[in-house]
Structure 1
Amino acid sequence: MDARPNRDPRRWTEPDAFELRRDPSGHVGFGAGIHQCVGQHIARLEAEALLTALLARVAAIELDGMPHRHLDNTLRSWQSLPVRIRRA
């Protein structure tokens, strides 16, 4: 699968072509500014709640390998972030 959002060749026949008639449903971008996804705030809140609950139950979360950034001009994210959880 292509790591760039909305460019999955399994989903679109010509993923790099600009096609106005393409059905945009199923994309994975949150967007920004006036075009931002309303649900992104809920997704971030859910992620914060999950991590807060996890941290309350474990002694530590530590890196377990080399993290790899997902390169993108507008979003900061990890392609992989290997971690190890130490029990309390």
Structure 2
Amino acid sequence: MRRVPCGRENAKNKVGPVLNGVMGSVIGAHPEDYNFSAALKAKGESGETWNEENMAAWLKSPKDFAKGTKMAFAGLKKEEEIADVIAYLSTFTK
């Protein structure tokens, strides 16, 4: 996998939230100015964070991970692709 420079100081929320610092952050709370679904906010309020296990479950099936999420993405089926996305997200710094 080719390493790509990640994280932008001027990143803005668009269809989804900015990805800077997402790994390790509280689910449904990063960034603070993004409108997350109640399902994701509830996960964060219960203390869950975007660790590798949770991110893998989200990437595999957002609707199974957070029942009631607004995410339209169906998920990734290949474990290698999931691992690649997590590795990529881990390169984004706060």
Short-chain TM bin? under 0.3
Which is bigger in relative contact order (C-alpha 8 A, separation at least 6)? 2
Q: Which has the larger radius of gyration?
A: 1
Instruction: Identify, as 1 or 2, the structure richer in helix.
Output: 2
User: Is the strand fraction higher in 1 or 2?
Assistant: 1
Q: TM-score, normalised by structure 1?
A: 0.21
